[in-house]
Structure 1
């Protein structure tokens, strides 16, 4: 006889996992803001900069931002694991996975 699955418990566990992943992502984004020094900006200025980056259609500018971000993480990694502390993986400079690139993706999914 087959064991009956508890779908409610499985759904609750998945929801808890999703909530924990979202909280971790938010924490990492805050760490990124602090690590780059962007926490010195007021919230309105930082939001405006990010909105401009998201809305930018200039592929050259986005690539320049991506390269600058990758260089930032590589520098931080050589200084004793700063990049690993931000993204939690130790793989700091993955192409296409930075927050400043405007691609909508960040170092964590």
Structure 2
């Protein structure tokens, strides 16, 4: 006979995994805000800047932002050196955010 699948348990496990992934994503965005120094802005200003970026149709501006972001992450990788590899992304983002102040 075939083993009966527990769909409720599988669904709960998938929901738990999705919740954990969402929480991790939110935490990483928070670390990015701190690492860039954007935590010095008030929430309304930061939200406004992000909304302008999302709504922008200017492809050259978006490409400039992308290049600036890529340079930021490359700089961050060099600054952290070998320590970031042992700590993971979270530790490197926090230490760079504190060092930038």
TM-score by length of 2: 0.81
Over the residues paired in the alignment, what is the CA RMSD in angstroms? 1.6
How many Å separate the matches in 2 of 1:27 and 1:10? 26
Gaps of 5+ in 1: 89-109
Large movers: runs of 4+ above 2 Å:
none
Q: How far apart are residue 8 of structure 1 and its match?
A: 0.2
TM-score, L = length of structure 1: 0.75
Answer 1 or 2: which has greater helix percent: 2
Relative contact order (alpha carbons < 8 A, sep ≥ 6): 1 or 2 greater?
Answer: 2
Partners of 1:79 and 1:35 in 2: CA distance:
12
1:4-46 deviation per Cα after TM superposition (whole angstroms, max 9, x unaligned): 0000000000000000000000000000000000000000000
Question: Post-superposition shift, 1:48?
Answer: 0.2
Q: What are the Cα deviations for residues 34-89 of structure 1, in whole angstroms up to 9, with x where unaligned?
A: 0000000000000000000000000000000000000000000011139x525x9x
Instruction: Count matched residues.
Output: 86
